Amino acid sequence: MPASPLDHSAPHTLKHLRERAGLSQEALARIVGVSGKTVSNWERGMSVASLTVPQMKALCDALGVTLSELPDNFSS
């Protein structure tokens, strides 16, 4: 099966998507409504994201991706 543009086997972690969108951890945190430490923890695999639907929509909009394009695991 051909890989999608954001296949998780490629380096498309949350950090990659955030940096591609030109956002700092703090900026993404403000958009989503969480702390910068929370975003850092997601990116390092220290915690699992538990977001509301509006927060998930904000995350997708900020990163310029659809829900199906988000990696299943945010860390590398």
Report the SS3 class of residue 60. Answer: helix
Question: 11: which 2 tokens?
Answer: 């380096």
Domain 14-69 has CATH 1.10.260.40: yes
Q: Which of 20, 43, 40, 23 is nearest to 31 (CA)?
A: 23
Q: At residue 53, what is the residue type?
A: V
pLDDT at 75: 65
CA–CA separation, 61 vs 64, rounded Å? 5
Provide the H-helix boundaries in the chain: 14-20, 25-32, 36-43, 53-63
pLDDT digits (tens, 9 = 90+) for 11-37: 468 999 999 999 999 999 999 999 999
Report the pLDDT averaged over residues 3-16: 57
Q: Where are the domains of the chain?
A: 14-69
pLDDT digits (tens, 9 = 90+) for 35-60: 999 999 999 889 888 999 999 999 99
Confidence of residue 73 (pLDDT cuts 50, 70, 90): confident
Is the pLDDT at 6 greater than 50? The verdict is no
